[in-house]
Structure formats: structure tokens, C-alpha cells
Amino acid sequence: MQLDRAVDDALAGGSPDDPLVRLLVDAHRSEPPPGLAARVGAAIRRTERRRWLPAQAAAAVLCGTFLVEASGNLFYGRWLARHLDAPFEPHTLFEGGVAFLALAAVLLAGALARRWLDLAVLTGVPAGLALSVHGSSELGEFPSGGVLHLSQGVAALGLALLWWRARRYALRPPAEYRA
């Protein structure tokens, strides 16, 4: 008990007479070595990168489904129109293909760089879910198209859930650094 009181007094600003108390107080006040701070910082950054990898992989999968849709619109429009019993409209299919390429580009950016992932989720998830709901009726007349649309919905839902999970459990800055 006496040692505890002496250490508390020294930490409160008193000058310790006992060399053991002085050693304990100096050890408490010493700065960590610079190498330790660098290793801890690297471990935190590595953990944060790993936390986002599943969401980035889901963005890459959704990007792949949009690329398949874009290639179908751009290069196989007649084939799609024939199987869907729809009129062939090259202008509409071309514009749809370009739009899917743009969505795929945003999702690819999110899959490759964490800073683009929020935008990829914001654009890709609603588009994938809408395509899934709207295109699921194709399962009866054009099964490969219906499967593509359902896979877009599954990938979009997976992206949303993995992004939410990574964001929910991401490391937060200390309170003194938050605005």
C-alpha cells in the first residue's frame, strides 16, 4: 500500500525519494520507441485493408455481371431480341450497353480502391436490385437472362451487406479527432 501511495504521489507531481518509485514513474512516462509506433500503425492499416476486401470482392462480382449485360446489349442485341420476343432497337441497346459499362467502371473502381467503394455501393446496389426484380420474370422465357438478373440481385445484396458490415465495424478515430 505504501508503494502505491508513493507512486500515486509521484504521478500527481511530487518528487519521489525512493529510487524504485522513480524508476516506476519514469517507465510510466516514457515515450514508446519510434519503431513500435510504426509497427502498430502498419498493423492497424493492414487490418483496415483486410476489413474491406470482402466488400471489394463483391463489387468486382457485380462489375462482372454488368459487363456481361453490357456486352449482350452492345454485341448480341439481335440474339437478345429474338429470345425475348422483343423488337430489335439498336439505338436503345447501344445506350443501355454504354450505361452498363459506366456502372461497371464505377464498380471496378470500388473493387480496386477503397475510396471509391462508397460510390460503387451507391450506384451498383440499387441498379443490381432493380435489375433482379425486373428481370426475374425472364426465367420462364429466357432462362440465361433470368439467371443473369438474379445473380445481379444476389451480388448487389451481398455487396450491400458486406459494405455495411465493414463500415459498421471499421475502426473509428479517437473522440478528440472527430469533429
What pLDDT, on a 0 to 100 scale, did the predictor assign at position 70?
Answer: 96
Name which of 87-96, 103-112, 113-122, 136-145 the model is least confident about: 136-145
**CA-CA distance, 42 to 77, in Å (whole number)?**
50
- Taking only the tens place, the pLDDT of each residue in 108-118 is 999 999 999 99
**CA-CA distance, 146 to 139, in Å (whole number)?**
4
Task: Identify whether residues 119 and 72 lie together within a single domain.
Answer: yes
The beta-carbon contacts of 170-176 under 8 Å, at least 24 apart in sequence, are 170/48, 170/51, 171/44, 171/47, 171/48
pTM of the model: 0.73
Q: How confident is the model at residue 173 (pLDDT cuts 50, 70, 90)?
A: low
**CA-CA distance, 42 to 124, in Å (whole number)?**
31
Residue 144 CA, chain-centre distance (Å), reads 29
Residue 15 CA, chain-centre distance (Å), reads 52
Task: Identify whether residues 91 and 131 lie together within a single domain.
Answer: yes
User: 156 phi and psi, to 5 degrees?
Assistant: -65, -45
In a domain, 176, yes or no: no
How many domains does the structure of the chain reveal?
2
Q: The domain containing residue 18 runs over which residues?
A: 2-30
Task: Identify whether residues 71 and 157 lie together within a single domain.
Answer: yes
- Taking only the tens place, the pLDDT of each residue in 146-157 is 899 999 999 999
